[in-house]
Structure 1
Amino acid sequence: MPEPAPASPDLPPAGLSVWNTAPTSAPHQRRARHYVPGSADHPAKMLPALAAHAIRTYSRPGELVMDPMCGIGTTLIEAQHLGRHALGIEYEARWAHLAALNAATAPHEGATGAGEVYWGDARHLTGLIPTTHHGRIALVLTSPPYGRSLHGQVRSTRESGTPGVTKRHYRYSNDPHNLAHAPTDQLLDAFTDILTACHAMLRPGGITVVVTRPWRDHGELIDLPTAVLGAGRRAGLIPIERNVALLAGIRDSRLVPRPSFFQLKYVRDARRCGTPLHLIVHEDVIVFRKLEHETANGRRGQPHRPASNSNDGYVHLPADHAPDRTHRSEPDTSPTSSATPSFPNGPPAPG
């Protein structure tokens, strides 16, 4: 991968705190890029317009962008097309395989940045990423898994003679150690570990952007964005902004919501039962900065962690929850792309 550009002393202005990131639907936005077959099956993909806006706002061409939970590689692709270089880490072999193919295809579509995908657990990303990149990341952009009611796709069952719909592509995987299956408290503790690892990878003054949103569980609103703020602080990052990325278009000064089928059904069912719920038509964008000079541990560039977090209210996942990544096989790239995917730490099985 080419060397990242020298650190810029100033960031471009962040602009408005409300981002118009859904002027068109997600499928329409993705038509502007080439995604290899199978990419659409991922249950929770970041909006390309959202990723592009964050990358433009918080990094410059030639700099290094990283997504520690990269899925099918939306962040990488948008960074490459904006002239940045990109690193992605993905836990699931299937998505890592597709992310690497998508990143390898981007230069054939006119992207000027390079992209690499590392297969493994993001909590241990400092051991996955070569030390040459440590302390050189300009921007971390990612989104944790959340809210199964927000994920997935539907298919009509009319063809089979039964009215209604079936839900599909709503699971990241069947691996019980995938954080998508973890209770909220365990997810937050693991995400704190991921942000701590990202902190070590960032250059001084580097930016971390986390895209997340609240969701409802049996009528109760789960305020994940505020919990993410706490996770970032525990990882030694400094919160500097909290923005809103719209999940709705703007037509004649009115919002046109773009909810998932399941979210819309949930709200309609609640209203029929007399509960006045409203659609959530935004994602929170939490922005953190790494200090220019770290003082908490006496050394610049070292992550700050509390001396003990045993009483911080979260359940801690043991390190041995990481999967065994010793058995790998070469992916067959011929059916989906002529590009060569980059797996610096060894290729996953295509799954």
Structure 2
Amino acid sequence: MAYKNRMNDLDNKTWLKFQKSWFIHNPPRRKKGVLRHPAKYPETLIQEFIEFFTKEGATVLDPMVGTGSTLVAALRSGRHSYGIELNSKYAQIAKEVVAEEKAALAETRQNTNLTAEVINGDAAKALNYSIPEIDYLITSPPYWDMLHARGSETQKKRRTESELDVVYSDDPNDVGNMPDYEEFLEKLVGIYAGLKPLMRERAYLTIIVKNVKKGGKIYPLAWDIGRELGKVYTLKDEKIWMQDNQRLAPYGMGNAWVSNTFHHYCLQFRKED
């Protein structure tokens, strides 16, 4: 029996594959310019989510767009997109990345009339910007202040030697600089809750995040976001993104249990009131 697919443009096989609650995705190598960002997530991953949760021509928002991955994925998917980025340096890189992607698509006459706008601003003030009604929102927040934490010295040294950024910014409005976990969580959830007026009714919101370890204990960031933001939107489900090509480190070997964490939670919320 034929049915009308009101959600996306996928065939049945692709739809079913996406419904798995876990998946392995190993990102391709990052381009030189976007390497400056300490925690870029892959366009190839975002594109799969955009193509499941929207139809071609829809409008996508990433309120913490970094160096523009979501906008590139939206362009490749035939969707309009807007991205907000607090750090002016990353916003400029995102604009350059978007311009490069548009030029590449124009050569093949694909998606040449799509909007892909980078806004250098604060996601907490999103309602002040000229953003139309949003069909889908996808983002990944800072994982608290983990880039400032003890135990990350090796990564900091490696990135410093390569002249790459080791923190997102020194902006006091950057939630990645907040040392108190509860204050960080409250502000982060407040930002996402404040985006609700921009979203059309029954639009989905995907947040890609993981729990964090600090000071010898785990802070369940993904679960806390699910609990607190679930008071504003309906928490519908989760998908677990796993990477199986990462190098293992001997954390706590011979002394204590410390896992190598190579999975993220992709939390699916929906605006239902």
Instruction: Give TM-score scaled by structure 1 length.
Output: 0.65
Q: How does 1:201-220 map to 2 (within 5 A)?
A: 201-220=198-217
What is the distance in 2 between the residues matched to 1:289 and 1:102?
30
| 1:241-252 alignment, distance < 5 Å | 241-248=237-244
- Structure 2 match to 1:62: 57
- Distance (Å, rounded) in 2 between the aligned partners of 1:167 and 1:193: 34
- 2:45 matches 1:45: no
The alignment partner of 1:144 has SS state of: coil
Residue identity matched to 1:155? R
CA contact (8 A) 2:211 2:221 kept: yes
The superposition leaves residues 22-58 of structure 1 with CA deviations (integer Å, 9 ceiling, x where unpaired) of: 1xx441xx4xxxx6x6321001111222212211221
Which residue is 2:165 aligned to? 169
Greater gyration radius: 1
1:198 paired residue number: 195
Contact 1:19–1:244 under 8 Å retained in 2: yes
| Alpha-carbon distance in 2 for matches of 1:10, 1:55 | 11
How far has the Cα of 1:59 moved from its partner? 1.4
Identical aligned residues as a percent: 22
Contact 1:66 1:137 in 2 (8 A): yes
> In structure 2, how many angstroms separate the alpha carbons of the residues matched to 1:142 and 1:118?
15
Q: Which residue in the other structure is 2:256 paired with?
A: 275
What is the distance in 2 between the residues matched to 1:118 and 1:224? 27
1:89 matched to which residue of 2? 84
**Matches of 1:167 and 1:92, distance apart in 2:** 17
C-alpha separation between the residues in 2 aligned to 1:168 and 1:185? 29
1:20 lines up with 2:2 in the alignment: no
Provide, for residues 149-176 of structure 1, a one-character-per-residue CA deviation record: whole Å limited to 9, x for no partner: 679565399xxxxxxx899522111223
Q: Distance in 1 between matches of 2:240 and 2:214?
A: 22
Measure, in 1, the Cα distance between the counterparts of 2:173 and 2:102: 34
Task: Show the counterpart of 2:267.
Answer: 286
Residues 153 and 167 of structure 1 are in contact (CA less than 8 Å); yes or no, is this contact kept in structure 2?
no
Residue 143 of structure 1 pairs with residue 147 of structure 2: no
> Residue type of the partner of 1:275?
A
Query: Is the 2:86–2:123 contact (alpha carbons within 8 Å) kept by the matching residues of 1?
Result: yes
Within the candidate set 66, 69, 72, 2:67 is matched to 72
What residue is the counterpart of 2:120 in the other structure?
119
Counterpart for residue 155 of structure 1: 158
Q: Deviation per CA, 1:116-173, whole angstroms, max 9, x where unpaired?
A: 011111011011234xx1xx2111000110132679565399xxxxxxx899522111
**Displacement after TM superposition at 1:77 (Å):** 0.6
- Contact 1:21–1:47 under 8 Å retained in 2: no
Amino acid across the alignment from 2:135: A
Amino acid at match of 2:120: W
How many Å separate the matches in 2 of 1:194 and 1:54? 21
Q: C-alpha root-mean-square deviation of aligned residues, in Å?
A: 2.5
**Conserved in 2, the CA contact under 8 Å of 1:90 and 1:118?**
yes
Q: How far apart are 1:200 and its partner, in Å?
A: 1.2
Q: Matched residues in 2 for 1:62 and 1:166: separation?
A: 40
| Separation in structure 1 between the aligned mates of residue 159 and residue 56 of structure 2, nearest angstrom | 44
Quote the residue 1:162 is aligned against.
none
Give a deviation string over 1:38-87, Cα, whole Å, max 9, x none: 32100111122221221122112110010000000101111111111110
Displacement after TM superposition at 1:177 (Å): 2.8
- Counterpart of 2:264, as a letter, is E
The 1:104/1:195 distance shift into structure 2, 3 A limit, reads same
Identify if the C-alpha distance between structure 1 residues 75 and 185 changes in structure 2 by more than 3 Å, giving closer, same or farther.
Answer: same
SS in 1 for 2:264: strand
Q: Distance in 2 between matches of 1:101 and 1:168?
A: 18
1:21–1:61 Cα change, 3 Å = same
More helix by share: 2
Point out where structure 2 has 5 or more consecutive residues left out of the alignment: none
Q: Partner of 1:186 in structure 2?
A: 183
Structure 2: distance between partners of 1:69 and 1:140? 11
Question: What letter is aligned with 1:246?
Answer: M
d(CA) in 1 for partners of 2:271, 2:237: 13
Deviation at 1:276, TM superposition (A): 1.9
